[in-house]
Structure 1
């Protein structure tokens, strides 16, 4: 159990009737309706750079899905700077890296959380070769097996312009959400992140714009835009 004092808010759990929680539910709904002919079940969340709110977006979106009685799984795919175990107050002594290197089984790395209907596979020990592990055939087969167990799988990935990990993960998912901090992210960085994802033919479902100044000191707003063309 982590002793971290991580302050990442899970507003959808703490205050589900708040306007911010409603914004996350709107994001969930927009994702569900962004594809008519197929169900989007494996979704990666990333950002252009660090500190833009991608992990906060992911955890609150996961809770919004779980509140509809869907079986939801979070995978911490950030094998370089993992944080999800802090937020959900679970151990990170084992996780995805143990699974992908055939040390443990899916059942052994799955962990329950304090959120009903929500489980997590943490990153596990930080490996020396994250990109190679994520690019393995084991990653593909693992996601396919997890799809038999869960309705929705959300993968937290590293920033898209820092390393190739996000591109690798994106190629194994049904869609990608790109989180942009309106205060600090430069247009060039967003375009570079999009280009990196386009290079692997990732399906960018839309952009979540956060930290929009709405003259409210408590505001932490998120907006969802339609699928990029």
Structure 2
């Protein structure tokens, strides 16, 4: 399990920051699991609404771009649209229109103004129930590997919809995102079980907003990130 102090990539977050080092270690771990010479699609799944995965995914996308990878972040969180709202893209075409065939990949993606990786906003349209489970969706999502090295997909909380399960089935795997002091061990374990039962490979989990100075144990999880070059998968 990676435990990371949550912070966006902003001015003042130096290259030697512990936070950045943790994200770099996590990025290296993901590359190793996906395959160094392969493109990968990863779903980021939050067990419930207590966790906001946006900053975690933004930071990870930034460090993956530092590693020379072309990155796309998709806002598939079709209810709250947190990334879309933060990026002020509420009126832009995006994921929904792309899946519905109403716009091209180029028309559905934009550069993130601050971090320079590409984002696909949620879009304006509603996606019909069950559409994410269709075979053509798998083909569409997998085709992104022809353009990008890393595709990170933000999904709605697992206690709200089955989107993380359906998108996880067409991705290479999933990462569970938890929040220190809010996410409970039992909820995290249930999320992992749901993903595995659905046939989704679970790469691991990230515990954000972790205070390394004051915490040694939290909700049954131990601090396992040991520093540069020693990443750990989560169990």
Bin for the TM-score computed over the shorter chain: 0.7 to 0.9
TM-score for both structures, normalised by structure 2? 0.81
Q: Matched residue pairs, number?
A: 217
Check conservation: 2:97, 2:125, Cα contact below 8 A.
no
Q: What pairs up with 1:1-229 in 2 under 5 angstroms?
A: 9-11=7-9, 15-17=13-15, 18-35=17-34, 39=38, 41-115=40-114, 118-127=117-126, 129=128, 131-215=129-213, 225-226=232-233, 228=235
Shift in Å at residue 138 of structure 1? Answer: 3.4
SS of structure 2 residue aligned to 1:168: helix
Structure 2 unmatched ranges of 5 or more = 1-5, 215-222, 226-230
Q: Is the 8 A contact 1:23 1:222 kept in 2?
A: no
Instruction: Render the CA deviation track for 1:164-185: whole Å, top value 9, x for unaligned.
Output: 1110011011111101122011
Encode CA deviations 1:48-81: one digit per residue, 9 max, x unaligned.
1113232221111011111122111011111111
Structure 2 CA distance for partners of 1:36 and 1:136, relative to 1, 3 Å: closer
Per-residue CA distance 1:77-97 (angstroms, 9 max, x = gap) = 111111112334445431111
Inter-partner Cα distance in structure 2 for 1:64 and 1:47: 21
Select between 74-83 and 136-145 the one with higher mean Cα deviation.
136-145
For residue 142 of structure 1, report the CA deviation from its aligned partner.
1.6
Deviation at 1:40, TM superposition (A): 5.8
* Conserved? CA contact 2:95–2:122, under 8 Å: yes
Q: 1:37 to 1:108 in 2, by over 3 A?
A: closer
Q: Distance in 2 between matches of 1:225 and 1:85?
A: 31
The 1:95–1:179 alpha-carbon spacing in structure 2 relative to 1, beyond 3 Å, is: same
Mark the runs of 5 or more structure 1 residues left unpaired by the alignment: 1-7
RMSD: 2.7
- Structure scoring higher RCO (CA < 8 A, sep ≥ 6) equals 2
Q: Residues 222 and 176 of structure 1: is their aligned pair in 2 closer, same or farther, counting only changes over 3 Å?
A: farther
| TM-score of the superposed pair, with normalisation by structure 1 | 0.83
Superposed displacement of residue 10, structure 1: 2.4
- The alpha carbon displacement at 1:156 in A equals 0.5
Label 1:61 to 1:14 Cα distance change in 2 as closer, same or farther (>3 A).
Answer: farther
